[in-house]
Structure 1
Amino acid sequence: MFFWDQHKTISSCYEMLSRKVCEKYQLTQMEYDILIFLHNNPRHNTAAEIVKIRKSTKSHVSSSLKNLESRGLVKRVQSTDNKKHIEIVLLEAAIPIIEDGIKVQKEFAKTVLQGLTQEERRICTEVFNKICKNADEYLKTGGVKE
C-alpha cells in the first residue's frame, strides 16, 4: 500500500534529523523520543501512558527510562496517595537536549511542509487526524465494526 510505504519515508526523515541530537548526547532514538514526548505531553508522564500513546513496547520504554534515569535526565516520582502511580519528571540536565530537539522538530516541519500553502497544511492536518482516528478506533475494537 502506497500510504504504508510513504509513512516510513516521513519517519526516516525525522529520524535522520534527530540522529544529530542522539549522537551529540549519546542517546538511542527511543530515549530521545521519550524526552521529547515528556516535554511535549507533560500530562502524559507515566511509563504506561508513553507505551499507550506512542504505541511502544513496555520493555523498550522501561529500559530507556532506566537509562535516562541513571544519566540524571529524568526521575520517577511515586504518588503519595497511590503507590502504583509513578510519574516521570524531566530534570534540568535534559533541558539542552529538549532545546536541540525542539530545533529538530521545527526543521522537520519546515522540511516536510515546504511548498504547502496554509490551506494545504490545514487540509493535510485534518485528513491526517482522521486517518489516525480511524486507525486508533480499529485498534481499540480489534477490527470489529459496530
Structure 2
Amino acid sequence: MNTGIEFTMKLSAAYSAVCRPLCHELNLPQTAFDILMFLANNPEYTTARDIVEVRKIKANLVSINVDKLVGEGYLRREADTDDRRKTHLLCTDKAGAVIEQGRTLQNRFMNSLLAHIDDAARKQLAESIHQMEQNLDHMLEEEH
C-alpha cells in the first residue's frame, strides 16, 4: 500500500482549489481561512501555539494571518485569566457568516471526496481510521 504522500498532496491541492474562489471573494489568504476554520471547528484549541502545533502552520505565518484576522474583525484576542502570558483567539460574530460558508464548502468537499463510495464502505473506512488512531495512541504510549 503506497498511497500516503501522493494521496495527501492531491488531497491538499484539491482542497485548496475548492477553497480558492471563497478565499478570493472574502479577500482572505488560504492560510487565514484555514486558521479561522480550524479555530471554529476545534473550540478546544484557542491559541496561536495550538495552531502551530496541531495544524502544523509555521509560527510566522500564524502570526501574520492572526493579525490580519484580528484587524479585519474575524478574531479577537482575550487574555487568559490564569496565565497572563497566554492569549486566546476567539471567533467574532462577524466571522459567523464566513464560518458558515466555510463549513458548507468543507461539507461539499467531503461529499465530493466520498462520491461513489457506498454507505457500507464509508462505515468501514471510518472504523478503519478509528482503529488506526487507537493503534497510533498505543504506539505513542509505548514511547513514553
Shorter-chain TM range is: 0.7 to 0.9
Q: Which residue of 1 aligns with 2:12?
A: 11
Q: Which residue of 2 aligns with 1:67?
A: 68
- Cα distance in structure 2, aligned partners of 1:120 and 1:2: 18
- Cα distance in structure 2, aligned partners of 1:16 and 1:120: 26
* Higher RCO by CA contacts (8 Å cutoff, separation 6 or greater): 1
Equivalent residues, number: 143
Q: Which residue of 2 aligns with 1:54?
A: 55
TM-superposed deviation, 1:137:
8.5
- 2:25 is aligned with what amino acid? K
Q: Which residue of 2 aligns with 1:80?
A: 81
TM-superposed deviation, 1:127:
3.3
TM-superposed deviation, 1:73:
0.8
- Cα distance in structure 1, aligned partners of 2:135 and 2:62: 25
Q: CA RMSD in A?
A: 2.4
- 1:107 is aligned with what amino acid? R
Give the TM-score of the pair, scaled to structure 1.
Answer: 0.85
Structure 1: tracts of 5 or more residues without a match:
none
Q: Which residue of 1 aligns with 2:95?
A: 94
TM-superposed deviation, 1:10:
1.3
- 2:115 is aligned with what amino acid? Q
Q: Is 1:21–1:97's contact at 8 Å kept on the other side of the alignment? A: no
- Cα distance in structure 1, aligned partners of 2:91 and 2:47: 12
Structure 2: tracts of 5 or more residues without a match:
none
Q: Is it true that 1:22 corresponds to 2:27 in the alignment?
A: no
- Cα distance in structure 1, aligned partners of 2:50 and 2:137: 15
Secondary structure of 2:90 counterpart: strand
Cα 1:7–1:129, aligned 2, differ >3 Å: closer, same or farther? farther
Moved over 6 A (4+): 132-138
Give CA deviations for 1:76-114 in whole Å, capped at 9, x if unaligned.
100122101210011111111111101101110110001
- 1:130-141 → structure 2 map (5 Å cutoff): none
